[in-house]
Chain A
Amino acid sequence: MTELNELYQEVILEHSKAPRNFRRPATTNHTAEGYNPLCGDRYTVFLDLEGNAIRDIGFQGAGCAISKASASMMTQLVKGKTKAEAEKLFEGFHRMVTGEAGNGDELGKLAVFAGVRKFPARVKCATLAWHTLQSALDGKQEAVSTE
C-alpha cells in the first residue's frame, strides 16, 4: 500500500463522507469549539456528561477528510466511556499519529489513522476533534440545553 493509500484508507474516506454522530445531541451540557487557523477546519463537539460518563456525544462543523473522519470515529469510540477512558484513548491516538508509539494495535479501530504519522503536516487534522473533546471534558458545566 502506498503512503497515500495508507493515509486515505477506505474506512477514513467512508467516515468523512458519512460522518457518524454528526449532530447536536438532544441534551448537551458540555461543548467546545475547535479551530485550526492554518486550514480553516472548525468543529464543535457536544457532550452529554453524566458524572464522569459520556452518555452522548455529537459534533458539527467542516474540515478535511482526515479531521472529519477522525471526529466521526472518535464520537463512536468514546460514547459510553468514562472521561478517564476517553483521555487514555486520546493519549494513545496522539502517540500513534505523531509516530511516538507502535502501530496503534491496542487502539482497535483507531489504528486506521496510523498512516498519518508519515504526514507530519496532517497530525493537527487528525487530532483536532480530540483536542476539542478534551477541552469540552475540561470545560465548566454549561447550562443544559435541550432541544
Chain B
Amino acid sequence: MSAAIHRTGLEALHDGEGQPHVSRALDVERIRLDFPILSERIHGRKLVYLDNAATSQKPRAVIDAIVHYYEHDNANIHRGVHALSVRATEAHDAARETVRRFINAPSARQIVFVRGATEAINLVAQAYGSEHVGAGDEILITAMEHHSDIVPWQILCEQNGARLRVAPIDDSGELRLEEFEKLMGPRTRLVAVAHVSNALGTINPVRRIIEIAHRRSVPVLVDGAQAVPHLPVDVQALDCDFYAFSGHKVYGPTGSGVLYGKTGLLEAMPPYQGGGDMIRSVTFEKTTYNVPPYKFEAGTPDIAGAIGLGAALDYVMALGMDRVAAHGQDLLAYATERVSAIDGVRLIGTAPHRAGVLSFLVGDIHPHDLGTVLDQEGIAIRTGHHCAQPVMERYGVAATARASFAVYNTREEVDALVAGILKAREVLG
C-alpha cells in the first residue's frame, strides 16, 4: 500500500493478493483527519458540518495543491516558454485529465473548465441555445430543478421567444416519467435535468430520460452538481450530451467547475465569451477561434482552482466512488430513520432513490429558528428555500431544514442532529 493512499484516509485498498476490497467501508475516522476545518469549535462545541450540499469542506490535499501551485509553479498558462509557464500549463492539463477520468469522458478536450455548474448551464443555454432554440421551440426541465437550471433557460426563452416546459413530480419528489415523456414534443429542442435534486435528494433516472430524449434526437444536459459527490458518474454510460458540475461540492475549491460536452456539439457551438486563449488568430477583419475546450475558456482561467479540483477528484477516486456512495447511502438511511422518528417531523422528499440530502420540517418550528438552535450546538445545516423555490411551492412550504452528508460525516453526527432537534423543540416549544 502506498503512503499516498494512507494519507487520503483510506483503509487498505488491496489485500495480500492485490485484489481490491471494493466492499470495505470508508475509514471515516481517518478521513476526518484529512479535513483541517473539522477540528474547529463552534460556540464552544465540536463542529458537526451537515451543510455539504451547499458546499463541502476541503481536504488537506486540496489546500496543499493550491498552496504548492502558488508557492512553486505560478505563471500564466499556454503562453510563456519559461519553465514556470510550462509547469503551470502541465498542472492545469493534468487537472483536466483527472476530471476526464472522474466522469469517464472519452477525451480531455471535452472538459471545459468553468466557475461552477451555474456557469456551465449558462454556457450551454447561450452558446448552444442561441443557434438551436428559436421562436416557438421548447426546452423541457423538471419541477425539481435548482434555480441555476431554470433561470438560464428562462433568459434564453426570453431572448429567442422559446417556451419552458416543466415536467411534474409526485408527492414523494419523484419525476413523473410518463408526464415527462408526454411533454417531449416536436418542438422540444433540449432537455435539462438534475441528476440529483438539491432540495429533495431525489436521484433522477437520467439514463432513461436520455433514452427517451434521444429517441427524438433531443440532446440532454444533466446538472450533476449534487450527484458527483455521491455517485460514480460515467458520461459515456449515461450517453448525456452535456454534464455540468461544481468543484466546490465535491471537496474542490469554490469557483471551479466543469462542463462536459459531446465533441460534435462542442465543436459546432459558437464561443461563449470572447477574449484571450479562445482564439487561433485575431485581426480586425477576422478572428478564428480555438478548438474546444479552449474556445470556451476566454481569459486567464482559475488555474489554481482547476488544480485544486484535480486534487479533490484524485482524493475521492482514491477513496473509491463506490465506497463513497455506499457511505452516503448508509448515513442517509440512518438519518432518515432517526429524524423521521421524531414526533412532528415531516420529511420533504421521500423518493425511493435518494442521495446526500435530508429535507424536513419539525412541527410548527420555522427552519430558520431550528437552524439557529442547531448552530448553537455546533451543528451546521441549511435552512431556507435551497434556491429551489418552485419545489418549496410544490410542497406548500416557504422553507425547509436540510441536512446533507459527506465522506467525513458519521452516525454519531446524525445522533447529534437528532439531539439538537429535540433541544430546539424544547427551546422553541
Contacts and interface: CB of A to CB of B under 8 A. Distances in A.
A7 B369 CA distance: 10
A5 B385 CA distance: 26
B427 interface: yes
Contact of B429 (A13, A63, A122): A13
B385 to A, nearest CB: 5
B376 interface: yes
Interface stretch (A38-46, A102-110, A136-144): A38-46
A64 B24 CA distance: 44
B118 interface: no
B42 interface: no
Contacts of B341: none
A119 B429 contact: no
B390 interface: no
Interface band, chain B = 10 to 19
Interface in A1-59: 2-5, 7-8, 13, 17, 38-42
A65 interface: yes
A96 interface: no
A86 interface: no
Interface string A60-74: 001111100000000
Contacts of A62: 398
A7 B392 contact: no
Contact of B383 (A5, A39, A119): A39
A136 B384 CA distance: 26
Contact of B398 (A7, A42, A66): A42
B60 interface: no
B288 to A, nearest CB: 44
B376 A3 contact: yes
Contact of B372 (A2, A13, A41, A122): A122
Contacts of B367: 39, 64
A40 B427 contact: no
A5 B372 CA distance: 11
A7 B366 CA distance: 15
A41 B367 CA distance: 11
B373 interface: yes
B372 A119 contact: yes
A11 B368 CA distance: 18
Contacts of B135: none
A63 B385 CA distance: 12
Contact of B428 (A8, A41, A42, A125): A8
Given A8-B428, A64-B366, 7 more contacts: A39-B385, A40-B384, A42-B398, A63-B366, A64-B368, A66-B369, A119-B372
Interface of B: 364-369, 372-373, 376, 383-385, 389, 392, 398-399, 427-429
17 contacts: A3-B376, A4-B372, A4-B376, A7-B372, A8-B428, A38-B384, A39-B367, A39-B368, A40-B384, A40-B398, A40-B399, A62-B398, A63-B398, A64-B368, A65-B366, A65-B369, A122-B372
Query: Which 8 A/B pairs are nearest by Cβ-Cβ distance?
Result: A64-B366, A64-B368, A40-B398, A40-B399, A65-B369, A39-B368, A40-B385, A64-B369
